[in-house]
Amino acid sequence: MKEKILIVEDNPLNMRLIEMILRTKSYTLLKATNVEEAVEVAVREQPDIIILDIQLPDVSGLEVARRLKEALAFSHIPIIAVTAYAMKGDKERIIEAGCDAYLSKPINTRELPRTVAGMLLRRPKNRAEPTSTQIYYD
């Protein structure tokens, strides 16, 4: 089964770039451009990883991360935050908001797929396809 990656990014050029970088791998790419859409798609599709642009319109990225974590409370989907403004203390704030990794823009075409692949490897096996007879405790 293909791994699902949700990309949350409001800038069409960055969205295209991330898609291009990840297209060579056999992932299913899901897209959202704002927080409402992101939460809706995340809850419905239960992606394996979320790539989250921290600069989104209307809501701060940290708030988006919190809302995603809240909506996905029991699924522990890792979030990779991507941000252009990396100021002192930002990384700590981003991790504190519930993100699992942090990448700074401009998006690095090698670092992003490596981070995604590394996170997918670290997941407990088979969690994406539980059957009715299996119970998972995290």
- For Mn ion, the binding residues (CB under 5 A) are 10-11, 53, 55
Q: Tell me the residue nearest to Mn ion as measured from the CB.
A: 55
Q: Which is nearer to Mn ion, 1 or 59 (CB)?
A: 59
Alpha carbon 97 to its chain centroid, in Å, reads 13
Residue 84 C-beta: closest distance to Mn ion, Å: 8
User: For Mn ion, which is the closer residue by CB, 34 or 46?
Assistant: 34
C-alpha–C-alpha distance, residues 75 and 86, integer Å: 28
Tell me the closest approach of the beta carbon of residue 16 to Mn ion, in angstroms.
13
Q: Is the dihedral of CA 9, 51, 107, 81 positive or negative?
A: positive
Question: Which of 10, 37 has the CB closer to Mn ion?
Answer: 10
* Cβ(31)–Cβ(7) below 8 Å: yes
Between CA 64 and CA 44 the distance in angstroms is 17
Q: How far is the CB of 82 from Mn ion (least distance, A)?
A: 9
Q: Which is nearer to Mn ion, 3 or 37 (CB)?
A: 37
Both tokens of 111, joined, read 């670092």
Q: Report the nearest approach of Mn ion to the CB of residue 76 (Å).
A: 25
Q: Residue 106, preceding bond cis, omega within 30 degrees? A: yes
CA within 13 Å, CB half, 40: 7
